[in-house]
Chains A and B, each alone.
Chain A
């Protein structure tokens, strides 16, 4: 039996993930900034059958909030699961007019989660079992003119997860890198014509299947695997002139 610590627990996909975990009879500890919202989701999960529904404060830009999470993880007697949904995506235009926003994007999508996972890694190694799910993005596969600051932070997170998988795999802990395409969330609501827009429940279904089957890297929905294979194969001298 797994108890999940869900980092970025107020995100749309995280909420769907927590509910699915509850349906499976697994416990959830939701970490994020909006305490009221986390409490509502925790109660929802408990009513749906989660043996544990709790919330705890996390601010990816405030490393002082990381210690208590690691401490709480240490008191989990079940197998530990860590699922990272933390992230933010200001539009490229906003970033272009205020480059200082880059620090926050990197903290939310990469350095914050990476530092927290690093604080948790010794505990996971010590337990010799467990799962880490890191949610990246297809945007991290290639820097595009429309979204490359966000993309680069996710790209850094992908590389971190790859290394963490390499490290934790030696002690029986499995790390899954999830690369979702466009998902129907609060973040994408109102954006024009998004290709292959998927409901959060579909993403979550794919994530659990990947975790259960111990897959390393997945694209979800699967259509993004061929799409990104093509996009990654485009030579840079061609790609630099494209605006996709």
Chain B
């Protein structure tokens, strides 16, 4: 049987919608689907909003097309099917001395999703986005996989292109050398906003990320923990066991007093003088994957994530954005501050050189209104909203933030004249509509 009725939701679970789902296991099945019923491809649905939704329509689940097609052990050039999970690639290749060039916050993201969202990681300031390392990719057509030439308009419209040029079947990308499968992390307690920005500016580590206490106000505004890390080898990582969130948590779990208390304790966990620890590589890159289905902690109404980036010169505006969040008392403990480099590979890629802030909000009263204010603030600061996280933005806001949208639209219309790959997100943001 080819199609199954399913309720789809993104990782935030605030938006949901029914769809008919196919899950091909062979390239030939995916090719046949393209001639019969072309539909958007989805992966592990780790985007937060409605990017993986096609309510009332069809979608193709790519997760069973997840094989390594070729690997050159001399050069580290790897070719995989689009459904391959980044965390699984870490598991296979880190012991051999190779690491995916860019790792987002979850190892459950697929390579196809990493390309379609042009994801970034803790090394963005040096390495750029995932798409920067893609040497070749193929889109599935009714006649089989078709190679997309590196640097072509179609290539740049596919990377960060939300799947609108058709299902990505495979990709070839460059792995990076690593000494082993552990990581050496230096953690430093940061007292406030200005200190955080100077530390981020001064950091020359390969991997740098800041956890920020988005509930702290006044003098403590912007306090957090800076993590700087390098890969290493020769050390045995401690044994570990995954946990699972079995049910939707009750509402008070992430209520403001609980979050404030948790954040304060989490911040004090790192000694005043800082510390250096050795971690298994996936614990550093994917800390939340250890708790399966952690999104259920937000209860059945789900949550939203707001992530924006602003230019370097607009650090002050980002401070005001954080202050607005802190005043609202609506934030969850999950908040990240990072300095980004200029690297991006697609017309619709998110990054720009500057500072990015990501904060989770339980989906309760006040959250949506706050997020739309934050979006206005980000637009005013010449910043950008990350579509992998967005569930609420308005079409004109996004248009103003993505100056290459016109180039993208031209290539997408050529690749998908029938608009077969539209999703709830592209319809909500009218991304495929008139320029």
Contact = CB atoms under 8 A, between A and B. Distances in A.
Do A and B form a real pair? yes
Interface of A: 10, 12, 15, 34, 36-37, 40-41, 43-44, 47-49, 186, 189-191
A190 B3 contact: yes
A189 B61 CA distance: 12
Contacts of B92: 47-49
Contacts of B69: 40, 43-44
B371 to A, nearest CB: 36
Overall SS of chain A's interface: helix
Overall SS of chain B's interface: mixed
Contacts of A10: 26
Contacts of A186: 23-25, 29, 64
A37 B28 contact: yes
A43 B1 contact: no
Contact of B25 (A12, A36, A44): A12
B253 interface: no
Nearest to A42: B67
Contacts of A189: 1-2, 4, 22-23
A40 B81 contact: yes
B27 A43 contact: no
Contacts of B71: 47
Contact of A34 (B3, B22, B26, B64): B26
Nearest to A48: B92
B70 interface: yes
Nearest to B73: A47
Interface in B22-59: 22-29
Given A190-B2, A191-B1, A43 B68 contact: yes
Contacts of B67: 40-41, 43-44
A66 to B, nearest CB: 24
Contacts of B25: 12, 15, 186
Nearest to A91: B1
A94 B1 CA distance: 13
21 contacts: A34-B26, A34-B28, A36-B26, A37-B26, A37-B27, A37-B28, A40-B27, A40-B67, A41-B67, A43-B68, A44-B67, A44-B68, A44-B69, A47-B68, A47-B92, A48-B92, A186-B29, A189-B2, A189-B23, A190-B1, A190-B4
B237 to A, nearest CB: 18
Interface string B5-26: 0000000000000000011111
Contacts of B23: 186, 189
Nearest to A185: B25
A15 B71 CA distance: 19
A43 B71 CA distance: 9
Nearest to A22: B92
Interface in B64-119: 64, 67-71, 81, 92
Q: Which 10 A-B pairs have the closest CB atoms?
A: A190-B1, A44-B67, A47-B68, A190-B4, A47-B71, A37-B26, A44-B68, A186-B25, A40-B67, A43-B69
